């Protein structure tokens, strides 16, 4: 059996895991939030729609990233 190409043995928080979980969770949670919030806002152009999605998505990403990092930090302590 050949050796794995890459292995990891993180000391502390596994930032790769945090980034992957943040990415997936942001898409799963953020898309419905952006869609729901966009129904109450007038977005006449594609530019306005994209700007709205980026602004709301950035807030969702930040909240998710902090929550995932806090979870990883808490689980690392256990």
Encode pLDDT of 50-68 as tens digits: 999 999 999 999 999 999 9
Q: Are 19 and 70 in contact (CB under 8 A)?
A: no
What pLDDT, on the 0 to 100 scale, is given for residue 8?
Answer: 64
Summary mean pLDDT of the chain: 90
Tokens of 66: 């902090």
Q: At what angle do helices 15-38 and 46-77 cross, to 10 degrees?
A: 140
CA distance 52 to 42: 10
Q: What is the pLDDT of residue 7?
A: 67
Global pTM? 0.79
12: left (phi over 0), alpha (psi -120 to 50) or beta: left
């Amino acid at each position: 059996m050949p050796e794995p190409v890459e292995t990891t043995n993180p000391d502390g928080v596994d930032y790769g895991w945090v980034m992957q979980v943040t990415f997936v969770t942001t898409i799963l949670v953020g898309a419905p939030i952006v869609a729901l919030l966009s129904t109450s806002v007038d977005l006449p152009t594609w530019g306005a729609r994209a700007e709205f999605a980026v602004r709301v998505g950035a807030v969702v990403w930040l909240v998710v990233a902090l929550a995932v990092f806090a979870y990883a930090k808490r689980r690392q302590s256990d």
